[in-house]
Amino acid sequence: MKKLVIRVVVVAALLVCMNWVYSKWFFRNDLVKYSDIVELSWQVADDSCRIVYVGESSNNHYGKEEPDRRKISAYVSEYFPTVKMGDMTREASHAQTYYYMLKHIPEDAAAETVVVTMNLRSFGSSWIYSRLETALRKQLVLLKDYPPFFNRFLLAFKAYTIHSDEEWDNMAKEARRTAPLDFPYEFQHPTSDEWDKSMAWNGWRDEEGNRDQAKTELACHYVKTYAFTITDDNPRVADFDAIVELCRQRGWHLIFNLMAENVDKANELVGEDLLFLMRRNRDYLLQRYGSMEDVVIVDNLSLVRDVNFIDQNWTTEHYYEEGRRIIADNVAKALKTFYPNEYANPNTLHYDYGHFRGNPAWHPIEASRPCGAGFVVDSLSSDWDEVDVAFFAKPSDSIASIFLAAQCADAEGQKTVKTYPLPMKHYGVRSWDFHTQSIVLDSVFKASNNVKLYLVNTSEVPVEVSALDVSFHPANLEPEIKGKRQSP
Amino acid sequence: MVFNSIEFAIFLPVVVLLFYLLPQRARWFMLLTASCVFYMWFVPKYILILLVTIVIDYLAGILMERNSERPKRKKTFMIISIVSTLTVLFVFKYLGFVTENLTRLCALFGVETDLAVNIILPIGLSFHTFQSMSYVIEVYRGNQKAEHHFGYYSLYVMFFPQLVTGPIERPGNLLRQLHEEKHFDYDNISKGMRLILFGLFIKMVVADNLGLTVERIYDEPSTYNSWSVMLGAVFYSFQIYCDFFGYSTIALGSAKLMGYDISDNFRSPYLSRSIAEFWHRWHISLSTWFRDYVYIPLGGSRVKFSRWAFNILVVFVLSGIWHGAAWTFLFWGFAHGLLHIVEKVLKKNAKTLEPQTKVGRWSIDLLNVAKTFILVTLFWVMFRSSDFAQMKEMFVAMFSNFDVERQVVVDWQNFLYLGLFILSDIVLRNTRFDRWCDGKPLVLRWLIYAMLVFMIVVCSRVENVPFIYFQF
């Protein structure tokens, strides 16, 4: 017996030592290798972000032709120029992943508020039993609350759900076959599976009654994706509940950002019954989380129109710029309750371009063509009659010259372009100089809804421009020049 | 359930605990239930196939015993049993291959038809059907009494440590032990744990990590230079060895925890000096199965040379297709058989000079070991290739891509793992890890255990890498 006790003690001591060695020299590397989402958590802490936006692909998708490819979170940050904001974006992730991302933000981080993407589709069986789940669950193993060495043991011995693609598909199908749909009225299809089969059998038909196979398939996909009823035992509900609890423990403000779905398409392809379910699920979430103390839920479900969805043949939350801005605007309004003094609507006061978040740090302007640093200003108010341009420039020759070009179009599409020379006081060739110029805009632009501004290099020699800021303001007000705070 | 899973890490201690807590009369039932759970963890319905072969062979055993005085009848029962077991094996393992080739053959003669059937191979089918057949043959030969207890017979076929990838046990060894009363013995637990630790290390740390490089090379061999392709081939030799040896060692350890000794399946095969020796050291339970039930009944070596060569080719071709229903496996088996014959011819005709010094003998041995390893490695290329096209691509890349720039990137740790394994293989050449530990100082032993545990946990691959021999 004594021998056995000694052995148990030795084994325990060895395990403690191994845990120490592993934590000290191996764990961080393994986290980066196998649970790289944790790097996002570290990054927002390193950046001293006060607001953290957590999301999936909806936050980093843009149209291929779009000049402005910023994320929703980037648009949101425009509303709070003095508050440092960061994002933790990971494609195909969901609330369970978000929970671990948030949990691993270091205790001493500057985070005060978290905005968590709430994706309606993620509550459905198609996503709960997605083929990506094996990989997603694997990357959470090292992030569990056990000692690091034990977590690595769990990972080595595959202590996470492993299923083949076929098995996941079967589970999703089984859930669609068995989970009842909750309608307050008589509805002919008790489950999503039956509804899907009926849709496939009867087909989508146009006004003349002709079957359209492509639309039929898409309609079936919409049924599979959205025809479900969220109940208290939905695993995502448990995940979002855990996020609420975590935010309470950490003293963070919490905003759930319920993303817009393509309700126009759902209505066109399937009809009111599917919309009813989507709204019913939305109401469940609004009621559940809206009633919780310290939780704000932003409802974007029906705000984005079909034309602003990038993917027309699949269900996603990937929006064109206008859609992203709508979501951002709504989130910003919710954030305003926590940061009333820092809120500044960029669409009416100030338009900032030139930080090139995620793009190359220095933006070269090629000779004599619009530099591409074009910016579009919507809703230009007639009160704002001066444009202020601040930037750093590095010309490669003393003959370089830069103009500001403003372009607007009238109702017939007729374009008007005016150029404004930007006089340079002193050129330090091949070195960075900060410039700020104020120009009074012509009245033609004040009457326009949409103005495009370009920096144009009219010389043959290249000029590099960075940290470009543009602000509109009444002539009698002093401009705010953010560019001065930066050094290249 | 696989051995390197969290499920097995929970399952095994529970089974062992129950085993020692229960009285002897209840143990067979508990072990049989555990074995069913273990097998059904993969695909539950396949247990029905197992049940069919168990019932047929169980009845055949009893009927053969009852008709021991009537040889013709006895033989008939044996044939019925063997044919039905082989039919199950054929349907699930070879029917797809045969129909696919028939379809191709028809196409060659201009007949467009699709006879191909796609049947998923139940896990471990080749192993437990062979184990079942060895029982029937032994009873027929009178070497083994028929088992009248259906539970014990079922347990003999289904004993979970060796159910899915062997070793293929003989009734004389395992069935006998199942009837014996086992008492708790710390030594068995200690030895069992050692074997499991060592098995997990060579499977999870060595085999799986080498597999990463092998996958890269075999995915697109022609894009790598010859040295990389050769490295991939060498790595595969060790991957398949460590994978299978690791699994067998864990099986041995799991059985040992309950006091059962199952057969060793490997004895440092890459230290063999000839192909013949290699097959005495590689997958021993299968080699001896073919020796006892195919080679010797065909006449063995006590026949004319031509007949012997024929016997050898038959055994090796059968061994090839036992591994898988594909022409590459058949070719692999044939190549081994042919080399075996060539070796014998050369040995017979060559005038060998016996070196007089120890160094001289070692040098000759070393050269022979290297020669055998190279040949076996080249043959593994056939074995690993999915078809002749990939095999050709591998060989072409191996010998003609010296000017290609792309080189496979291998983590230095892989060489460390491989080096450790080779060292252990040399040290354990004539023994086994559990026995080797016996005479070592306590501190050294525990240091080795700690190192193995640490490496298993920290250095293993996180992806799910199935055991290679599961596919057979």
B443 inside 8 A of chain A by CB? no
Give pLDDT, residue A379.
40
- Which chain B residue has the Cα nearest residue A13? B450
B288 inside 8 A of chain A by CB? no
Q: Do B457 and A152 touch (CB under 8 A)?
A: yes
Is beta strand A463-473 parallel, antiparallel or unpaired with respect to A386-395?
antiparallel
Burial class of B131 by CB neighbour count within 10 A (0 to 12, 13 to 18, 19+): buried
Q: Do A149 and B4 touch (CB under 8 A)?
A: no
Q: Do B462 and A156 touch (CB under 8 A)?
A: yes
CA distance B326 to chain A (A): 25
Contact list in A for residue B457 (CB cut-off 8 A) is 18, 22, 149, 152-153, 156
Counting one residue from chain A and one from chain B, the pairs whose CB atoms sit within 8 A come to: 41
**Residue B325: half-sphere exposure toward Cβ, Cα within 13 Å:** 19
CA distance B8 to chain A (A): 9
Give pLDDT, residue B351.
65
Is beta strand A85-89 parallel, antiparallel or unpaired with respect to A51-55?
parallel
Contact list in B for residue A34 (CB cut-off 8 A) is 462
Strand ranges inside A90-212, DSSP E: 113-118
Q: Which residues pair with A392 in a beta bridge?
A: A434, A466
Positions of B marked active-site = 323
Specify the DSSP class assigned to residue A362. Answer: S
State the Cα–Cα distance between residues B391 and B218, nearest whole angstrom. Answer: 9
CA distance A144 to chain B (A): 16
pLDDT(A97) > 50? yes
**Cβ atoms B166, B285 nearer than 8 A:** yes
**Phi, psi of B101, rounded to the nearest 5 degrees:** -70, -35
B209 inside 8 A of chain A by CB? no
Q: Do B454 and A18 touch (CB under 8 A)?
A: yes
State the Cα–Cα distance between residues A346 and A387, nearest whole angstrom. Answer: 14
pLDDT(A354) > 50? no
pLDDT(A367) > 60? no
Chain A: residues touching B (Cβ < 8 Å) = 10, 14, 18, 21-22, 26, 30, 34, 138, 149, 152-159, 162
State the Cα–Cα distance between residues A130 and A124, nearest whole angstrom. Answer: 10
Is beta strand A51-55 parallel, antiparallel or unpaired with respect to A113-118?
parallel
pLDDT(A133) > 70? yes
State the Cα–Cα distance between residues A402 and A439, nearest whole angstrom. Answer: 14
- Cα–Cα separations (whole angstroms), residue A210 to A132, A207, A217, A219: 37, 7, 15, 15
- Closest listed residue to residue B201, CA positions, set B213, B193, B191: B193
**Phi, psi of B395, rounded to the nearest 5 degrees:** -65, -40
The position carrying tokens 């069913």 is B36
Give pLDDT, residue A466.
64
B409 inside 8 A of chain A by CB? no
Q: Which of A14, A152, A159 sits opposite B450 (nearest CB)?
A: A14
State the Cα–Cα distance between residues A50 and A37, nearest whole angstrom. Answer: 19
pLDDT tens-digit map of A240-286: 999 999 999 999 999 999 999 999 999 999 988 999 999 999 999 99
- Which chain A residue has the Cα nearest residue B464? A158
- Which chain A residue has the Cα nearest residue B462? A156
State the Cα–Cα distance between residues A417 and A370, nearest whole angstrom. Answer: 12
CA distance A61 to chain B (A): 29
Give pLDDT, residue A351.
34
For residue B70 the two structure tokens come to 């009537």
Contact list in B for residue A157 (CB cut-off 8 A) is 4-6, 9
Ranges of residues in chain B with a pLDDT under 50 are none
Which three-class secondary structure state does DSSP give residue B32? Answer: helix
- Which chain A residue has the Cα nearest residue B461? A156
Residues 6+ apart with CB under 8 A from A64: none
Q: Which of B446, B450, B456 sits opposite A156 (nearest CB)?
A: B456
pLDDT(A425) > 60? no
pLDDT(A355) > 60? no
State the Cα–Cα distance between residues A227 and A204, nearest whole angstrom. Answer: 17
- Closest listed residue to residue A244, CA positions, set A210, A289, A287, A281: A289
ipTM associated with this complex: 0.89
Most A CBs within 10 A among B186, B454, B459, B463, hence the mutation to make, goes to: B454
Which three-class secondary structure state does DSSP give residue A487? Answer: coil
Average pLDDT of chain A, as a whole number? 82
B157: enclosing H helix or E strand:
helix B150-158
pLDDT tens-digit map of A183-232: 888 899 999 999 999 999 999 988 888 889 999 999 999 999 999 999 99
pLDDT(A391) > 80? no
Average pLDDT of chain B, as a whole number? 90
**Cβ atoms B231, B271 nearer than 8 A:** no
State the Cα–Cα distance between residues B463 and A97, nearest whole angstrom. Answer: 19
Q: What percent of chain A has pLDDT over 70?
A: 80
Strand ranges inside A75-119, DSSP E: 85-89, 113-118
Burial class of B71 by CB neighbour count within 10 A (0 to 12, 13 to 18, 19+): exposed
Give pLDDT, residue A14.
94
Which three-class secondary structure state does DSSP give residue B72? Answer: helix
pLDDT(A353) > 50? no
DSSP letters, B410-450, are --HHHHHHHHHHHHHHHHTTTS-HHHHHHTS-HHHHHHHHH
Q: Do A154 and B6 touch (CB under 8 A)?
A: yes
- Closest listed residue to residue B31, CA positions, set B201, B125, B149: B149
- Amino acid (one-letter) located at A197: K
For residue B203 the two structure tokens come to 């499977």
CA distance B207 to chain A (A): 14
CA distance B436 to chain A (A): 20
